[in-house]
């Protein structure tokens, strides 16, 4: 079962939930129109379907291979990457002054979803390049920018993020890689980095490593970390002192090489400082925040792919007889329990997509709004939503791909079918770019207190506004949507109040213990009201005479989410409110 980019759903979400139309009306997107956006997305969808998606199975089967320090990508990958950059897709969001098209993050997010749905192992590479472009644009010297940005924007070269070391994963304070000034404006970098995605490969002539390391006499902990640019090849064509030691044998995304990198085996790798000394983590966070959204989009992508695969199978596979049918076997897609699985998959996917796109729109406004106060507000909203977009989307990526295997029955367990690959691929996204536990802690301890709590309160207010519109909507097709979503939003409001209080009174245990269920609760309320925005827009269209059956489908999907998924909100609220009570004897329960 191959991938067909769901461009109509993507465009509808973009326009009627994520606020594309409003941003265009506000002048935030310059002369970009909905029609132009749709044309671009249609084209991107075709490329994803026709060029990238066919790589996915073979990429999984063969994977990236390692020999004598070199990584060879799977058959066809080099050609596909070349075609992709030549078509300008890498340059889509890049800065205009370095050859990019300067298109919004929102539009690019829809594209990122499609590249990753077509093949997650393909899509992850450019995400890192994109992050490096942002970090360099924001923090690098003009000299570095002029030497590297052109090539990175076009995709002629790719980039990597070198953070993790064996003893320093979530906890970067433990980082040991070293950098010393060579006295000529360059530095010499030494150290070992692990889990470096596309750290080595044969897709491009050069690879630009962004590397965290410590200068001599740097303060201990995270305040002593600096960021360096370390190219695989130096300007004069010499190979830099950095090499790939090995690649990992992973559960999924086999075609994406995960490298152990050795810097400075000989005289030290030549590098250039990005930004200021000891401020490397802040620079890296520029990169990581947008990468977090992109990884969230990977969750949406793999969920969409798994859904399409399962739906396709369920429409073809005949077993049992539909309720009311008199003879013969029916496609399993008509059986209520299978429909529940498929609707769960689609509802979660659509909700996660909406949250990611809303986040992208906030990021765009944070950059593009002219009014500084509005920029600041948008930036806070983007900050608030980013951990939710990352963690919820990648969690549901796993859940949806697991349901996808289930819908296939026994065939789901057979690798040749493809459903199993999605299940394997999906599993990395809740881990990398900050584990989902870290996202939840970030949400509760850093994002809720933004603007004295006004950011999250504003977000809840906009959810309530949707609920208010729903309560006025009396169409029977909405079922119990309004009361269920109202309950979810009110649960979120109470849990938010509780956690804001915990954070401000420094009740760390309470805040940390409730972080993960709180993030899920937030996503249920946000995702449910986003689906409601979509359903209300669909309803308005239908009332206006648009006979597209997709509109009734959008209402049904929203109803399903409200009645079958958002109903978890109350329990999550109770969990958050239970606080850290369970931690007291946790060690005994775990017999740690």
State which of positions 514-573 bind a second copy (CB under 8 A): 515-517, 549-550, 552-557, 559-560, 563-564, 567-572
CA 258 to CA 243: how far, in whole Å? 13
**What residues between 361 and 400 interact with a second copy by CB under 8 A?**
398
Distances (CA, A) of 225 to 135, 152, 180, 218, 235: 15, 24, 12, 7, 26
CA 475 to CA 590: how far, in whole Å? 50
Compare residues 208 and 398 and give the one whose CB is closer to a second copy: 398
User: Least distance in Å: CB of 556 to a second copy?
Assistant: 3
Q: Which of 340, 367, 446, 543 binds a second copy (CB under 8 A)?
A: 340
* Number of residues binding to a second copy, judged by CB under 8 A: 102
> What tokens appear for 479 in the block?
């079922």
Compare residues 373 and 592 and give the one whose CB is closer to a second copy: 592
CA 404 to CA 399: how far, in whole Å? 9
What is the b/e burial string over 333-344, where b = at least 16 CB atoms within 10 angstroms of the residue's CB? bbbeebeebbbb
Give me the catalytic one of 433, 490, 510, 573: 433
Smallest CA-to-CA distance from 119 within 307, 296, 256 is with: 256
DSSP 580: G
> What tokens appear for 221 in the block?
């902990």
CA 56 to CA 3: how far, in whole Å? 10
Smallest CA-to-CA distance from 78 within 125, 145, 24, 142 is with: 125
**What residues between 570 and 589 interact with a second copy by CB under 8 A?**
570-572, 574-575, 578, 580-589
Smallest CA-to-CA distance from 517 within 559, 579, 430 is with: 579
Compare residues 136 and 515 and give the one whose CB is closer to a second copy: 515
Quick one: which segment of 99-107, 184-192, 281-289, 326-334 binds a second copy (CB under 8 A)?
326-334
CA 384 to CA 376: how far, in whole Å? 12
**What residues between 192 and 221 interact with a second copy by CB under 8 A?**
194-195
Q: Which of 192, 435, 445, 462 binds a second copy (CB under 8 A)?
A: 435
User: Least distance in Å: CB of 236 to a second copy?
Assistant: 35
Q: Which of 56, 164, 459, 539 binds a second copy (CB under 8 A)?
A: 164
Decide: is 333 part of the binding site for a second copy (CB under 8 A).
Answer: yes
User: Least distance in Å: CB of 208 to a second copy?
Assistant: 22
User: Least distance in Å: CB of 203 to a second copy?
Assistant: 22
Question: 3-class DSSP state for residue 190?
Answer: strand
- Reported as half-sphere exposure (CB side, CA atoms, 13 A), residue 193 has a value of 30
Q: Which of 51, 107, 291, 342 binds a second copy (CB under 8 A)?
A: 342
CA 415 to CA 520: how far, in whole Å? 31
User: Least distance in Å: CB of 485 to a second copy?
Assistant: 12
Known catalytic residue at 277: no
What is the b/e burial string over 285-303, where b = at least 16 CB atoms within 10 angstroms of the residue's CB? ebbbbbbbbbbbbbbbbbb
Compare residues 27 and 509 and give the one whose CB is closer to a second copy: 509
User: Least distance in Å: CB of 149 to a second copy?
Assistant: 29
In the block, tokens 């969920």 appear at 303
Compare residues 158 and 436 and give the one whose CB is closer to a second copy: 436
Compare residues 18 and 168 and give the one whose CB is closer to a second copy: 168
User: Least distance in Å: CB of 362 to a second copy?
Assistant: 25
| 422 within 8 A of 401, measured Cβ to Cβ | yes
Distances (CA, A) of 160 to 92, 97, 154, 259: 19, 22, 15, 10
User: Least distance in Å: CB of 494 to a second copy?
Assistant: 14
Decide: is 293 part of the binding site for a second copy (CB under 8 A).
Answer: no
Residues 6+ apart with CB under 8 A from 64: 71, 72, 73, 74, 201, 247, 254, 255, 256, 257
Full DSSP string of 74-111? PTTHHHHHHHHHHTTTTTTTS-GGGT-----HHHHHHH
Decide: is 326 part of the binding site for a second copy (CB under 8 A).
Answer: no
Compare residues 24 and 441 and give the one whose CB is closer to a second copy: 441
Q: Which of 1, 34, 174, 234 binds a second copy (CB under 8 A)?
A: 174
Compare residues 232 and 520 and give the one whose CB is closer to a second copy: 520
Q: Which of 34, 431, 450, 451 binds a second copy (CB under 8 A)?
A: 431
Quick one: which segment of 12-20, 80-88, 429-437, 494-502 binds a second copy (CB under 8 A)?
429-437
Quick one: which segment of 52-60, 228-236, 360-368, 414-422 binds a second copy (CB under 8 A)?
414-422
**What residues between 225 and 244 interact with a second copy by CB under 8 A?**
none
Q: Which of 414, 461, 465, 468 binds a second copy (CB under 8 A)?
A: 414
CA 235 to CA 446: how far, in whole Å? 41
| 179 within 8 A of 228, measured Cβ to Cβ | yes
In the block, tokens 């300007």 appear at 235
Decide: is 315 part of the binding site for a second copy (CB under 8 A).
Answer: yes
| 204 within 8 A of 235, measured Cβ to Cβ | no
User: Least distance in Å: CB of 549 to a second copy?
Assistant: 5
| 353 within 8 A of 300, measured Cβ to Cβ | yes
User: Least distance in Å: CB of 574 to a second copy?
Assistant: 5
**What residues between 498 and 517 interact with a second copy by CB under 8 A?**
508-509, 512-513, 515-517
Compare residues 34 and 556 and give the one whose CB is closer to a second copy: 556
Quick one: which segment of 41-49, 114-122, 430-438, 445-453 binds a second copy (CB under 8 A)?
430-438
**What residues between 65 and 124 interact with a second copy by CB under 8 A?**
none
CA 388 to CA 223: how far, in whole Å? 27
**What residues between 438 and 497 interact with a second copy by CB under 8 A?**
440-441, 477, 479-480, 484
Q: How long a stretch of residues is the chain?
A: 592
Q: Which of 96, 138, 325, 329 binds a second copy (CB under 8 A)?
A: 329
Decide: is 415 part of the binding site for a second copy (CB under 8 A).
Answer: yes
- Which residues are catalytic, by number? 433
């Amino acid at each position: 079962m191959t991938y067909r980019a769901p461009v109509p759903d993507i465009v509808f979400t973009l326009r009627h939930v994520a606020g594309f139309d409003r941003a265009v009306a506000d002048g935030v997107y310059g002369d970009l129109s909905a029609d132009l956006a749709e044309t671009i997305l249609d084209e991107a969808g075709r490329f994803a379907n026709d060029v990238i998606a066919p790589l996915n199975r073979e990429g999984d089967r063969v994977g990236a291979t390692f020999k004598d320090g070199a990584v060879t990508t799977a058959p066809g990958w080099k050609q596909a990457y070349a075609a992709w950059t030549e078509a300008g897709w890498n340059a889509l969001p890049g800065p205009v002054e370095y050859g990019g098209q300067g298109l919004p993050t929102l539009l690019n997010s829809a594209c990122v979803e499609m590249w990753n749905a077509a093949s997650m192992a393909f899509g992850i590479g450019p995400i890192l390049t994109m992050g490096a472009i942002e970090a360099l644009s924001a923090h690098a010297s003009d000299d570095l920018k002029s030497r590297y940005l052109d090539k990175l924007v076009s995709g002629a070269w790719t980039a990597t993020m070198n953070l993790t070391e064996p003893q320093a994963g979530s906890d970067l304070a433990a980082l040991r890689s070293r950098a010393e000034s060579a006295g000529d404006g360059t530095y010499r970098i030494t150290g070992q980095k692990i889990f470096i995605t596309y750290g080595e490969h044969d897709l491009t002539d050069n690879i630009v490593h962004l590397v965290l390391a410590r200068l001599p006499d740097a303060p201990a902990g995270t305040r002593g970390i600096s960021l360096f640019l370390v190219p695989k090849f130096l300007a004069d064509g010499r190979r830099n002192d950095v090499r790939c030691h090995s690649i990992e044998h992973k559960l999924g995304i086999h075609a994406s090489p995960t490298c152990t990198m050795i810097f400075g085996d000989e005289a030290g790798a030549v590098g250039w400082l990005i930004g200021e000394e000891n401020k490397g983590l802040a620079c890296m966070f520029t990169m990581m925040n947008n990468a977090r959204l992109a990884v969230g989009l990977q969750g949406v992508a793999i969920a969409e792919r798994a859904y399409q695969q399962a739906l396709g199978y369920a429409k073809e596979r005949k077993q049992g007889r539909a309720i009311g049918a008199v003879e013969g076997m029916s496609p399993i897609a008509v059986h209520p329990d299978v429909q529940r699985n498929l609707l769960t998959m689609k509802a979660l996917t659509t909700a996660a997509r909406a949250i990611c796109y809303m986040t992208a729109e906030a990021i765009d406004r944070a950059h593009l709004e002219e009014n500084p106060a509005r920029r600041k507000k948008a930036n806070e909203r983007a900050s608030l939503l980013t951990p939710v977009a990352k963690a919820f989307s990648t969690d549901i990526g796993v859940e949806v791909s697991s349901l996808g295997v289930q819908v296939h029955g026994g065939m789901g367990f057979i690798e040749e079918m493809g459903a199993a690959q999605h299940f394997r691929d999906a599993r990395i996204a809740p881990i990398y770019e900050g584990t989902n536990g870290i996202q939840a802690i970030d949400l509760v301890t850093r994002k809720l207190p933004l603007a004295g709590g006004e950011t999250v309160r504003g977000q809840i207010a906009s959810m309530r506004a949707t609920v208010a519109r729903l309560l006025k909507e009396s169409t029977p097709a909405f079922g119990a949507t309004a009361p269920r979503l109202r309950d979810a939003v009110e649960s979120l409001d109470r849990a938010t109040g509780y956690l804001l209080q915990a954070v401000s009174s420094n009740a760390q245990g309470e805040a940390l213990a409730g972080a993960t269920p709180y993030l899920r609760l937030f996503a249920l309320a946000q995702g449910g009201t986003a689906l409601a925005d979509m359903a209300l827009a669909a309803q308005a269209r239908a009332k206006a005479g648009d006979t597209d059956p997709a509109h009734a489908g959008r209402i049904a999907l929203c109803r399903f989410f409200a009645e079958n998924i958002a109903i978890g909100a109350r329990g999550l609220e109770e969990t958050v409110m239970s606080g850290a009570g369970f931690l007291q004897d946790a060690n005994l329960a775990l017999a740690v």
